[in-house]
Structure 1
């Protein structure tokens, strides 16, 4: 799978986690908690999870599968707040070491494997959720490329992406589907509601983006419908692993869902999507 493209974007949600080492004897586990973890493990390896891994699951981590790591080490694909977190347990002791496994050249040797086990399913689920929600499309319905993007009305980088996408939309190659969120401020929430509640949301969004530097569309008091939709979109954003806006999603040449974090130029967008 292609790497996630990272760029500048408006930070909305921040998750921090450290380097963790947990002893198998750190604390007693509840019996029912063990049973739940063992069911997940059985589906993957047929064996119970190490005590150190179940300790992480008790702290809110999620288990996605195992993988073989170099040396006498077993890898575990975990996530926290939908962010991929690899954990490694050596055969000599039940301690879980959380973080990247780096080779002598400084390369993250297991990153792609963890991405496949954790991020791939999250991105596929996100794509399905975006298809089923109310989005604002720009561009032809028969465009060769579809991109879903999380757009906050007060995000300058969303505005930059909106501008850089114009040539591809006008070329007929791209349909950009805006999933509106209002996560940066209450004003963002109210402006997103104003766009959604306008007679023509697509025109309202265009007018807002064209006048972004002057404040764009005026905020409104959200209707119950708009409030419910925007609350749902904020939840989808978290579930999709997005930590800021714009975050965009597309399918690559192999049909896998990929993510673009931040604003990219027109040429970068052409290269990412494979548009001539």
Structure 2
């Protein structure tokens, strides 16, 4: 599975309501496509005297090429004589990277419990349900990197698996020391569901909304950055994927 493509598709859908770039001097074919619902993310120079536009529609990214006279447009992929895709670099620069950055900001603004040093060079956001056994297993597996100060896990608390999951997630977020409470819970001392102030319960609700908007389906789902790009792992990672997430072998 192409996790980066899956992540990008979810991000495009989530951010579809964002304001579109407006340009009154766009060629008529581009304006016509925008009226049909296409979102233009940026313009680039294309070979052969064409003008290129990086765009998306309903979660699908694409490039639009306009002829030199501005009268005609082709939607599709351009290749050179060697078969190299000439659209990918522009889609990366103008669509994928900006949208990944926007998603990272949304994760930063979500409601999470820090697990590990704030100075850790590597940060992972992981959607965690208190009733998820694989979330506990992931928490345990990550201990060497977290305790060495190499990784900080940010547990975006959701309540989706069982009827009392929202109340348990709220209890963890509302604890006097959320990190210690999560440590005890993940270590086997199951937290009891309890009523919390409405503001705390709404934090869980908004996290649940974000989980759904991104099209996620498993807990844990973990998002992280590697080589300047965002990646996603659904469920408990295998050994190879774990090392990629953590940035290297166990300390």
- TM-score, normalization: structure 2? 0.67
In the other structure, the counterpart of 1:54 is 34
| Distance in 2 separating the partners of 1:105 and 1:158 | 46
CA deviation profile, 1:14-41 (whole Å, cap 9, x unmatched): x7xxxxxxxxxxxxxxxxxxxx97x623
Distance in 2, Cα, partners of 1:229 & 1:173? 28
Q: Which position in structure 1 is the counterpart of 2:23?
A: 41
Q: Secondary structure at the match of 2:91?
A: helix
In 2 relative to 1, CA 221–132 (structure 1 residues): closer, same or farther, beyond 3 Å? same
CA distance in 1, matches of 2:134, 2:90: 31
Q: Secondary structure at the match of 1:202?
A: helix
- Partners of 2:212 and 2:23 lie apart in 1 by 25
Query: Residue 233 of structure 2 corresponds to which residue in structure 1?
Result: 261
Cα gap change, 1:227/1:51 in structure 2, threshold over 3 Å: closer, same or farther? same
Q: Which residue of 2 aligns with 1:24?
A: none
Residue 23 of structure 2: SS of its match in structure 1? helix
For residues 111 and 184 of structure 1, do their structure 2 counterparts lie closer, same or farther at Cα, with a shift above 3 Å needed? farther
Cα RMSD over matched residues? 4.4
- Count residues with an aligned counterpart: 235
1:59-208 equivalent positions in 2, closer than 5 A: 59=37, 61-67=38-44, 75-79=52-56, 83=59, 85-89=61-65, 91=67, 97=75, 110-155=87-132, 157-183=134-160, 187-208=164-185
Q: Of the two structures, which has the highest relative contact order with CA contacts closer than 8 Å and spacing of 6 or more?
A: 1
State the Cα distance separating 1:173 from its structure 2 match. Answer: 1.1
CA 1:188–1:95: 2 relative to 1, 3 Å: farther
Q: 1:115 to 1:141 in 2, by over 3 A?
A: same
1:80–1:231 CA distance, 2 compared to 1 (3 A): farther
Give the CA deviation at 1:224: 1.0
Q: What is the CA distance between 1:174 and its match in structure 2?
A: 0.9
- Structure 1 gaps of 5+ residues are 16-35
1:233 to 207, 214, 218: 207
Distance (Å, rounded) in 1 between the aligned partners of 2:85 and 2:134: 29
Q: Distance in 2 between matches of 1:63 and 1:238?
A: 25
CA distance in 2 between partners of 1:155 and 1:104 (Å) = 51
Tell me, yes or no, if the aligned pair for 2:112 and 2:154 is still in contact at 8 Å. Answer: yes
Deviation at 1:249, TM superposition (A): 2.7
With over 3 angstroms needed to count, the CA separation of the structure-2 counterparts of 1:200 and 1:124, relative to structure 1, is same
Instruction: Give the structure-1-normalised TM-score.
Output: 0.62
* Shift in Å, 1:84: 5.2
